[in-house]
C-alpha cells in the first residue's frame, strides 16, 4: 500500500501564483492511481460497460469536478492536494468489496435479490461517494478575483 501512496500524482496542472486551475472531472480522474481505482471499481461490479459509464463513471467525473483538488482533511488522512477525491475513490472501492459479501435486500427472495443486485451496487457507490460531502460545508474556498465558493454554487468556476 505504501508504494501506491508514493506513486500518486495529484497535480495534473501546476499551481499558478498560489491558485489552482479548476479541471474537468475526466482530467482529474486521468491519473495513474485514479485510473487504477476506477478500474478496481469496474472490476467489483457486474455492470456492462455502457451502464458502468452512465451510472458509475459519469457520476465519478461529476464528483471529481465538484471536489477538484481539495484535501480530505487539514492534518489527518489524505491531507494533500487532491486528497478528497483519492479518499472518496478508495471508500467506494472498500464499500463495493463489503457489498459483495451481502445479498440485498435482506430477506427478499433470491430472484428479487438477483434482479436488484446491480441497483444496490450503484446505491452503495453513491452512498460511499457522498459519505464525506459535508466536509465541503466546513471549508472556505477562495476564488481568484474575490469571493468564496460554496458547494451549492456547483463546480468551482475559476482558479481557487
127 pLDDT band (50/70/90 cuts)? very high
Give the pLDDT of residue 137: 84
Q: Which positions ≥6 away from 4 have C-beta within 8 Å? A: 33, 36
Neighbours of 63 (CB within 10 A): 21
Residue 8: pLDDT over 70: no
What's the pTM?
A: 0.85
Of the listed ranges 13-17, 46-50, 122-126, 137-141, the least confidently predicted one is: 13-17
Quick: pLDDT tens for 21-79.
999 999 999 999 999 999 999 999 999 999 999 999 999 999 999 999 988 877 778 87
Give the pLDDT of residue 151: 87
Looking up cell 471508500, which residue turns up? Answer: 91
Q: Which three cell numbers stand for residue 41?
A: 471499481
* Mean pLDDT of all residues in 114-127: 95
CA-based Rg of the chain, rounded to a whole angstrom? 17
Neighbours of 121 (CB within 10 A): 23
* Mean pLDDT of all residues in 99-115: 92
The Cα–Cα gap between 114 and 102 comes to: 12
15 pLDDT band (50/70/90 cuts)? low
Give the pLDDT of residue 4: 36
Give the pLDDT of residue 107: 92
Residue 122: pLDDT over 60: yes
Cα→Cα distances 159→138, 147, 148, Å: 19, 11, 11
Give the pLDDT of residue 18: 81
Cα-based torsion angle of the residue sequence 14, 22, 26, 153 in order, rounded to the nearest 10 degrees: 160
Amino acid at each position: 500500500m505504501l508504494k501506491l501512496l508514493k506513486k500518486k500524482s495529484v497535480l495534473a496542472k501546476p499551481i499558478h501564483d498560489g491558485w489552482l486551475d479548476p479541471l474537468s472531472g475526466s482530467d482529474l480522474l486521468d491519473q495513474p492511481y485514479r485510473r487504477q481505482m476506477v478500474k478496481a471499481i469496474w472490476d467489483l461490479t457486474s455492470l456492462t460497460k455502457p451502464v458502468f459509464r452512465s451510472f458509475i463513471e459519469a457520476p465519478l467525473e461529476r464528483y471529481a469536478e465538484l471536489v477538484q483538488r481539495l484535501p480530505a482533511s487539514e492534518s489527518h488522512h489524505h491531507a494533500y492536494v487532491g486528497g478528497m477525491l483519492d479518499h472518496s475513490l478508495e471508500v467506494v472501492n472498500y464499500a463495493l468489496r463489503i457489498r459483495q459479501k451481502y445479498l440485498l435486500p435482506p430477506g427478499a427472495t433470491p430472484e428479487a435479490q438477483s434482479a436488484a443486485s446491480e441497483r444496490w451496487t450503484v446505491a452503495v457507490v453513491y452512498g460511499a461517494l457522498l459519505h464525506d460531502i459535508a466536509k465541503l460545508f466546513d471549508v472556505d474556498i477562495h476564488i481568484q478575483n474575490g469571493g468564496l465558493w460554496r458547494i451549492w454554487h456547483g463546480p468551482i468556476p475559476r482558479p481557487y
